[in-house]
Structure 1
Amino acid sequence: MNLKQSIIISLSSATLLLTGCASIPHLGKAPKMRDAHDYASVQSLAGNGAPWPGEGWWKSYDDPQLNGLMTEALAKAPDMAIARARVLSASGSKQRAGAGLLPSINGFMGTGAGHFMRDKEIRQLTGNPNMQDWGDGGASFLTINYNIDIWGGYHAQLAAATSEAKAVQVDLQEAALMLTTGIAAAYANLSRLFEERAVLERTLEVRSYILKLSEQRLGHGLDNDASMQDASSRQANARAELVANQESIDITRHQIAALMGAGPDRGMAITRPQSEKLRAIGLPDNAAINLLGRRPDVVAAKLTAEAANYRIKTAKTQFYPNVSLAGIVGYQTRALEHMATHGMALGAASAALNLPIFKGGQLSGQYRETRAAYDEAVGNYDKTLTNALQQVADAATSQRQLNQQLDQTRQALNHAELSYRVLTDRYRSGLVTYIEVLQGEENILSLKKAVADLQARAFQLDVSLVQALGGGFTAA
């Protein structure tokens, strides 16, 4: 056979092998992940030059108690333990996927007893004509198997596992972000409740004094019973509001403790936040573009989609021929006491070709499942990115509107305080009663409570914006 004939036969054999394989389903063009430029967001995410949140962003509030809560939570919270366990599992999956690129070697050693049935050969080999019919035999050998990655399926499988491991590692950062922002949001609510409590305590004092004056005026015939009953009702309502406020404070403390992975008694040790040091941040420039690498959930979704794409390549290789190599080397004897001198070495090697011709739809179904998983992963990435942009826009919009609302409420408080000064001057001149003065102070207290609520809301929106901007995460 000449060279030309050999080439023709080789090409014909290769063509026969490839055409004999099961065919890959045609499922149309695969979707692609969208980019931040595909979304109209320039107007909604117009920045004011503020810096991006950094690692340990909560430290900027300069609250030692909050810093301690965060440190304890990151070390002990169950959510972090769960996320770390998933990282370990993904690392193991990656290691297992890489094993397909390496040969596998297994060893065997065994011994047993047998009846030799007039085995003259054994007697001659051992030089012992009086050898017993029963004896101990043994064997030890190594088997070697190796699958040749002709089509890159094992490399694609390792790449998929690597992307998935990276995604789970990023999920660990996402868990830390959700934990810290959850604690900060609860801490902001606790700050609001303590501010509210101070106002409620003063409100109770004012209403109690109004009730006392009403009772005195009723006793002197200067007022009727209806006014006294109204004052009594308002005092009881102030007491009820204080009780409800204390309930909310305790429940919020319990909530923070649970997030930290601690018991409720740990929460009861949390004192009043240093709210005067809590200040809001702004929106960075080019937030939409830079968000892709700063949101852990967006980065994780992208890595998951990339892993699913590698899985498609792995599924395709199942339609192609697979070549594997195998070998065995070893040593055996039928007389253990003479193993070193009268044993027998053995060895063999083989190559095998596996050709998927008909699998009853198994490969096609598997490929469709893999492609569907990729399409779903791309859709999930697009949805995650869309939600991320919305969350940033919502937090920034609410922050701008809240600033206006807070300015207006502060103006109302200033006007109420001016009116209260006039009222106190008129009281000194004998033009109004002291009850009217106290009622004016009660109006101021109501506005102070509104300002405190808005200030706490500003802190909560700040935390929401930190969370929406990724909390200092940066993709490697």
Structure 2
Amino acid sequence: MDKRRLCIALAAAAMLSGCSFAPVYHAPPARVPTTFKESGPWQLARPADRVPRDAWWSVYRDPVLDHLETQVAAANPDVAAAMARHDEAMAFLSQTRSGLFPTIGAEASVERQRQSDNRPLRGAGQPSAYGVNTVDVGIAYDLDLWGKIRNEVAAGRAAMQASEADLESVRLSLQANLASAYFNLRGLDAQQQLLDDTIDTYQRALTLTLSRHAGGIASDLDVSRAQTQLDIARASADDIAARRALYEHAIASLTGAPASDFTLAAATDSAYLPSIPTGVPAALLQRRPDIAAAERRVAQANAQIGVAKAAFFPDISLGLDGGYQSDTLSPWLMAPNEIWSVGPSLVFTLFDGGRRAAMTDEARAKLAENGAEYKATVLLAFQQVEDNLAQLHHLGDEAARQNEALIAAQRTLTLSMSRYRDGVVSYLDVVTAQTTELDTQIAALNLNTRRLLASVRLIEALGGGWSSEGAQSPPGVQANQARIQALKAHVGSETG
């Protein structure tokens, strides 16, 4: 009969060990369009322009940018901080996992004690002073019948996975910021080259006007206008230099270098503008690290509900303790001195003033909050993709019109200078044509920079370097332990 009861008890314990009060987890539903509205027929599909998941910046075919981007992960302190937060989450997960295993402890003590002569119920033959020498080994194991520890482990695992995605998100954001600063700087380099050429042209025009003035052909007003044009161009060149310095300093900080020690040589090569395939909208839910992090935090909050609910039930643990105790050191470890205890213990809170109920309500509210934040992140992701697709689309159309305007402005300037040399028009016509032509050229350069920036933002909105390769984790997350370990090794080699 005793064996039957024991079997029933063990079976019941095994069944209860699978119990969990966490709700069945489902990723929050989000409306996902079938296609991107702004990726209409204007976008060309070129297989050679496929955006790589790693080193996505290589699509711009700029060796200097490639070199700078590799320094972001290795030297940027924000990446190091995100990596440390990931390590914290992994350590916390290891802490919670330890609760799934028995705790084994050992104790040894050699004491000399004295009891009061007037201790209540003291026997007449008991000595006042005596020795207590103990060696003891104990094992304790929480049965986790209600799933508290298992849900804590699930929450810790989800938090660790969220920290992985956060690390990827920080890297992607910094890489995109670097690419944007770099293209802004190169755009200013092109403008600086344009202004240097313009200053030379204006200087020659001023020389021509002064010659004509000396010959009595041109007026003082023409000379003043030519001088004004030249001075304005020089002032614009100084402004370009000041703005460029700010982007150069930003690039230095992003790559982990002091701004005072960093210099980036000017270059005017036109950057390659790639065609960026967007893929299907549903892929954003897997490609974007911020969406993955938000989804994992929903899973974490869901598991915390199970932890909070388990507090309403008794905490049952098994204990086994054994050793030796004697009033003398020798003989000590002998059978007559043996002590042991074995059996379950139960701890149950009868009244806490509503604390457990409040913690459960808090966990449910946290789940609702994280679910809403997940949906907001998904909506923002689709908005960012559509925004930058629209930018690329309409800026492309604008660039075509701007090129036509630039051709017309250059022709107008050529005609104005020719007519001025022939004495048909005043220098005011030349100044007007020069101003229009310079403004149109600067607008064209700015437009090219804006298109590059929009392409960077589109790649970032699509998930950038977020890898979909590796082992499949719970919904919405891809395991990236190998990549993170490789990143740590790379950072260690750089800092060493």
TM-score of the two chains, using structure 2 as the length reference = 0.79
C-alpha offsets along residues 19-57 of structure 1, whole Å, 9 cap, x if unaligned? xxxxx9xxx9999713243x5864245575464552101
Given that residues 206 and 442 in structure 1 are in contact (C-alpha distance below 8 angstroms), is that contact kept between their aligned partners in structure 2?
A: no
Deviation at 1:216, TM superposition (A): 3.5
Q: Secondary structure of 2:332's match?
A: helix
- Structure 1 counterpart of 2:375, from 350, 374, 382: 382
Match of 2:448 among 445, 451, 455: 455
Residue in 2 that maps onto 1:252: 247
Structure 1 match to 2:58: 59
Alignment match of 1:412 (pick from 390, 399, 405): 405
SS of equivalent residue, structure 1 residue 112? strand
**Which secondary structure does the structure 2 equivalent of 1:282 belong to?**
coil
Kept in 1, the 8 Å contact 2:154–2:303? The answer is: yes
Amino acid at match of 2:99: G
Instruction: Tell me whether 1:264 sits opposite 2:262 in the alignment.
Output: no
- Give the 3-state SS of the residue equivalent to 2:28 in structure 1: coil
1:144 to 111, 130, 139: 139
Q: Describe the SS at the equivalent of 2:377.
A: helix
Partner Cα separation in structure 1 for residue 397 and residue 442 of structure 2: 17
Tell me the C-alpha RMSD between the 2 structures. Answer: 3.2
**What are the equivalent positions in structure 2 for 1:26-37 lying under 5 Å apart?**
33-37=28-32
Q: Which moved more, 1:175-184 or 1:211-220?
A: 211-220
Q: In 2 relative to 1, CA 148–353 (structure 1 residues): closer, same or farther, beyond 3 Å? A: same
3-state SS, counterpart of residue 276 of structure 1: coil
Bigger CA drift: 364-373 or 323-332?
Answer: 323-332
8 A contact 2:79–2:171 mirrored in 1: yes
Query: How far has the Cα of 1:162 moved from its partner?
Result: 0.6
User: What do residues 235-265 of structure 1 show as CA deviations (whole Å, max 9, x unaligned)?
Assistant: 2222211111111111111001111221013
Corresponding residue for residue 342 of structure 2: 349
Which residue pairs with 2:312 in the alignment? 319
Letter of the structure 1 residue corresponding to residue 110 of structure 2: T
Q: Pick from 156, 167, 171 the counterpart of residue 176 of structure 1.
A: 171
Render the CA deviation track for 1:421-469: whole Å, top value 9, x for unaligned. 5556667877668996686455433322221111111111110001000
- Inter-partner Cα distance in structure 1 for 2:291 and 2:393: 25
**Stretch of structure 1 that moved more, 108-117 or 443-452:** 108-117
Matches of 1:336 and 1:115, distance apart in 2: 17
> Hey, what's the Cα distance between the residues in 2 that align with 1:332 and 1:30?
52
Inter-CA distance 451–343: structure 2 relative to 1 (3 Å threshold): farther
Partner of 2:182: 187
Structure 2: unaligned runs, 5 residues or longer: 10-20, 117-127, 469-476, 479-496
1:123 is matched with none
C-alpha displacement of 1:318: 1.2
Distance 2:342 2:409 in 1: 97
Q: TM-score, normalised by structure 1?
A: 0.83
Q: Which residue of 1 aligns with 2:279?
A: 285
1:268-322: per-residue Cα shift (whole Å, max 9, x none)?
Answer: x212356424213334232x21110000000110011011111111211111233
Aligned to 1:308: 301
* Aligned residue identity for 1:272: A
Distance 2:77 2:150 in 1: 35
State the distance in 2 between where 1:382 and 1:107 align: 51
Cα drift, residue 234 of structure 1: 2.4
Contact 2:93 2:160 in 1 (8 A): yes
1:90 partnered with 2:89: yes
Counterpart residue number, 1:468: 461
Letter in 2 for 1:59: S
Aligned equivalents of 2:195, 2:408: Cα separation in 1: 21
- The reply on whether 1:225 has 2:220 as its aligned counterpart is yes
Where does 1:69-84 land on structure 2 (aligned, <5 Å)? 69-84=68-83
Query: How far apart, in 2, do the equivalents of 1:437 and 1:209 lie?
Result: 13
1:4-23 residue pairs with structure 2 within 5 A? none
Overall identity of the aligned pairs, in %: 26
Q: How does 1:95-114 map to 2 (within 5 A)?
A: 95-113=94-112
2:191 pairs, out of 191, 196, 199, with 196
Q: Which residue pairs with 1:333 in the alignment?
A: 326
Distance 1:277 1:214 in 2: 38
Counterparts of 2:323 and 2:44 in 1: how far apart (Å)? 75
